[in-house]
Amino acid sequence: MHKFIAMVGTNSTESTNRKLLQYMQSHFADQAEIELMEIKDLPIFNKPEDKKVPALAQSMADKISDADGVIISTPEYDHSAPAVLMNALEWLSFYIHPLVDKPVMIIGASYGSLGTSRAQAHLRQILDSPELRARIMPSSEFLLGHSLQAFDDAGNLVDEQKVAKLDGLFADFQVFVEITQKLTHANAANKQEVRDLDWDKL
C-alpha cells in the first residue's frame, strides 16, 4: 500500500481544501495511507544566514522523503496559489530537497466556479523549478468549484461525477507513482545538481 503526504495548501482553519483531503484520506483508506500535513505554523521564509531550516520544515521534509508521493490541495487567491503555500515550498527548497523526483498530484477547491484552475497551473510551474524538481502528474486537474456546497454533513462529496473523476485520477496517480519509481537513472545527478545550487546567487 502506498503512503502519501497530503499537503493542506492554506492557513485557513475552515478550508474546503482541507476537507477535500480529509475526504480522500477516508475514501481511499483501503487503497493508500494518506497523512495530512499542515503548513500554517511555518515561519515566513527569510533565507537565514546560517542556512538552517526550522525544525518543522525539516520534519516536513523527512516525511515527504519517506512518502511514495505528495498530494497538494491549493486554494486560489488572485489567480495564483496562496502565499502560505509558496512559503512552505521555499523552505522545502532551501538546502533541503525532499521533492526532487517525488511524484506530486495537484488538486484544489474554491468557492467559485473555476476550482483553482489558475492556481494549479501556477503551482505546476513552481514545482518544476530547478530548486524543487518534483514530478507532477501530467494532464490531471481536479477542480472542485462551489466547494461550500460540495460536501454533505459527513464530509463526503455529493456530486457523483466529481467522485468518479477523483477515483479515476487517484488510480492514475498510483500508476504514475509506480512508473516514477522506475525513473531513477538520473535521480542521483538531479539531487546533486540541486544541492549545488547556490542560494546566495539566486
What pLDDT score does 187 carry? 86
**pLDDT at site 119:** 94
**Rounded Cα gap, residues 197 and 100, in angstroms:** 13
- The CATH number assigned to the domain holding 119 equals 3.40.50.360
**pTM of the predicted model as reported, rounded to 2 decimal places:** 0.94
At residue 200, does pLDDT exceed 70? no
pLDDT at 24: 98
| Local confidence band at 11 (pLDDT 50, 70, 90 cut-offs) | very high
- The pLDDT tens digits of the residues spanning 120-166 come to 999 999 999 999 999 999 988 999 989 989 899 999 999 999 999 99
Cell numbers 460540495: residue? 150
| Cα angle 128-132-134, degrees, rounded to a multiple of 5 | 60
Average pLDDT over residues 47-60: 94
> Band of the pLDDT at 198, cuts 50, 70, 90?
low
Reduce the DSSP state of residue 185 to 3 states and report it. coil
- By percentage, how much of the chain surpasses pLDDT 90? 79
Cell of 169: 485520477
Cα separation, 119 vs 122, in Å, equals 5
Q: How many domains does the chain have?
A: 1
The set of cell numbers assigned to 49 is 544566514
Average pLDDT over the chain, rounded to whole? 93
Domain coverage including residue 17: 2-201
Is the pLDDT score of 201 beyond 70? no
pLDDT at residue 111 is higher than 80: yes
| pLDDT tier for residue 56 given thresholds of 50, 70 and 90 | very high
